[in-house]
């Protein structure tokens, strides 16, 4: 906060907390914390190889958060890859859903996603 802000009554900037400080970023286990049975993994979808990696992780019972933003400028290619992934998820009794415009979640069998449509805004 500067001197003029004190005099003119400027607003203080709200600081966004650094959450990385509070989060443990280790993926693998150690002597104190053994490895988990399943993981939630984030994969950037750039090509078919990344899609195959995501499906491989899915067969290992991991939950995948798929970042599709790198392929967003190639909508036909993205649509084909997501279509194949959806078919594979359905065949394996898994589930797939859109989280945001750039994020897709894939879950293994016996993990289902509760999907709901946005409620229409009421007019006053």
Q: Is 21 within a domain?
A: no
Cβ count within 10 A of residue 97:
15
Give the lowest-confidence range in 1-5, 66-70, 107-111: 1-5
Q: Is 23 within a domain?
A: no
Q: Is 8 within a domain?
A: no
CATH of the domain at 80: 3.30.110.150
Give the torsion sign (CA, 34, 67, 93, 87). Answer: negative
> pTM surpassing 0.85?
no
Q: Is 1 within a domain?
A: no
Region class of 96: left (phi > 0), else alpha (psi between -120 and 50), else beta: beta
Count how many domains the chain has. 1
Q: Is 20 within a domain?
A: no
The answer on pLDDT for 7 being more than 90 is: no
pLDDT at 119: 72
Q: Is 118 within a domain?
A: no
Q: Is 75 within a domain?
A: yes
Mean per-residue pLDDT, 49-75 = 94
Q: Is 9 within a domain?
A: no
- The pLDDT tens digits of the residues spanning 10-36 come to 555 566 667 666 665 555 555 567 788
Parent domain of 61: 37-110
Q: Which of 113, 112, 105 is nearest to 57 (CA)?
A: 105
pLDDT at 49: 94
Confidence of residue 97 (pLDDT cuts 50, 70, 90): very high
67 and 45 Cβ atoms separated by less than 8 Å: yes
Structure-token pair, residue 98: 């859109």
Bridge partners, residue 104, by sequence? 66, 98
């Amino acid at each position: 906060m500067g001197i003029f802000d004190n005099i003119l009554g400027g607003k203080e900037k709200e600081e966004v907390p650094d959450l990385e400080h509070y989060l443990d970023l280790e993926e693998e286990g150690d002597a104190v914390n053994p490895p988990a049975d399943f993981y939630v993994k984030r994969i950037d979808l750039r090509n078919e190889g990344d899609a195959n990696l995501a499906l491989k992780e899915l067969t290992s019972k991991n939950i995948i958060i798929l970042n599709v933003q790198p392929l967003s400028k190639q909508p036909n290619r993205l649509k084909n890859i997501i279509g194949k992934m959806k078919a594979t998820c359905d065949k394996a009794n898994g589930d797939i859903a859109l989280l945001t415009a750039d994020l897709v979640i894939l879950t293994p069998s016996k993990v289902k996603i509760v999907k709901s449509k946005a409620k229409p805004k009421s007019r006053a």
